[in-house]
Structure 1
Amino acid sequence: MQFGRFRIGLRTLKTAMAVMLIITVFYFFKRPPFVASLASVFALRESWDKTLSFAKIRLISNMVGGLLALVYFLVYSHTHHAVWVPMIFLPFLVIVAIVFLDGFDYNSGVIGALAALLMISLNIPPGATVVYVIDRIADTFMGVLVAIGVNRFASPEPKKKG
């Protein structure tokens, strides 16, 4: 659909559909949809094939970002919320994530890993437990899975050559 210079394409509609599904499902499970919605936006690509190949990288990067967020939470809790932990230790974990993913040639997953790490780490509410962090890690995986599903079932069938 074209409006002068502006258009609404299939990827735009699929992205909105993925976010809508996550918000709706998470509403019924009384879970915050922010992390999953953002993960789905990061993972959704213009085609099923590109989404599927990127999803592997996204799942690995989510795992790296999520595990580092768990490390952050444990250190932050153990130090009784010391101010140096977000100021010094969290940027150190950013370096660890970048170096690790670059070392395994997952450079395209760096932004996703850092998004997961920072979204989880910088939004830990007072009094949260390790369950909160694990829930947010699970949310990132759910967002990617919704993006895969939406892109699989909301994409037109590829035209057969021949």
Structure 2
Amino acid sequence: MQFGKFRIGLRTLKTAMAVMLIITAFYFFKRPPFVAALASVFALRESWDKTLSFAKIRLISNMVGGLLALVYFMVHTSTSHAVWVSMIFLPFLVVVAIVFLDGFNYNSGVIGALAALLMISLNIPSGATVLYVIDRIADTFIGVFVAIAVNRFASPDPKK
């Protein structure tokens, strides 16, 4: 659909559908949908093939960002929530993520990894346990899988 110079394309509708499905499902499971919804937006591409090939990179980047968020949580907790952990150690983990992904030639996953790392690390509620961090890591994977499914089943031709 075209409205002057603005248009609503299939990718836009599929992105909205993925976000809607995540928000709805997470509502019933009483989970916060933010991380999964954002992960689905990052993962959904214009075609099934591109989404599928990018999903591999996205899953690896989610794993890197999530594991580094877990490291951050453990250090932050073991230092009684010292402010330097957020100010110095978290930016150090940003560097680690970039260097690691670049070293394995997953440059297109850097933004996703950093998004996962920062979304999880900077939104940990006080009193949270390691289970909270693991749940948010799982949410990033759920978001990617929803994007894959929506792009697979909401496309007129799965190859496009």
User: After TM superposition, is the score higher than 0.5?
Assistant: yes
2:68 is matched with 68
Counting only pairs closer than 5 Å after superposition, residues 27-106 of structure 1 correspond to structure 2 as 27-106=27-106
Q: What residue in structure 2 maps to residue 23 of structure 1?
A: 23
Counterpart residue type for residue 45 of structure 1 = R
State the distance in 1 between where 2:11 and 2:100 align. Answer: 31
Q: Which amino acid aligns with 2:157?
A: E
Contact 2:72 2:89 in 1 (8 A): yes
- Say how many residue pairs are matched: 159
Between the aligned partners of 1:158 and 1:85, the Cα distance in structure 2 is: 45
| 2:30 counterpart SS class | coil
**Pairs within 5 Å for 1:5-16:** 5-16=5-16
Per-residue deviation at 1:107? 0.1
Letter in 1 for 2:82: A
How far did 1:39 drift?
0.1
| Matched-pair contact (CA < 8 Å) for 2:48–2:158 | no
CA deviation after TM superposition for structure 1 residue 158, in Å: 6.0
Q: Helix, strand or coil for the counterpart of 2:123?
A: coil
Q: 1:51-90 CA deviation, whole Å, 9 max, x = no partner?
A: 0000000000000000000000000000000010000000
- In the alignment, the residues of structure 2 paired with residue 102 and residue 157 of structure 1 have an alpha-carbon distance, to the nearest angstrom, of 34
**Structure-1 separation of matches of 2:43 and 2:158:** 20
Residue pair 2:73, 2:130 contacting (<8 A) in 1 also: yes
Q: Partners of 2:158 and 2:56 in 1: how far apart?
A: 22
CA distances 1:132-162 after superposition (whole Å, capped 9, x unpaired): 0000000000000000000000011168xxx
Gaps of 5+ in 2: none
TM-score, length-normalised on structure 1?
0.97
Q: 2:128: which partner in 1?
A: 128
Deviation at 1:96, TM superposition (A): 0.1
**Aligned partner letter, 1:26:** F
Deviations 1:83-135 (A, max 9, x none): 10000000000000000000000000000000000000000000000000000
Name the CA distance, whole Å, in 2 between partners of 1:62 and 1:133. 13
- Equivalent residue number for residue 144 of structure 1: 144
- The list of structure 1 runs, each at least 4 consecutive aligned residues, that deviate by more than 4 angstroms after superposition, is none
Q: Deviations over 1:3-41 (max 9, x none)?
A: 000000000000000000000000000000000000000
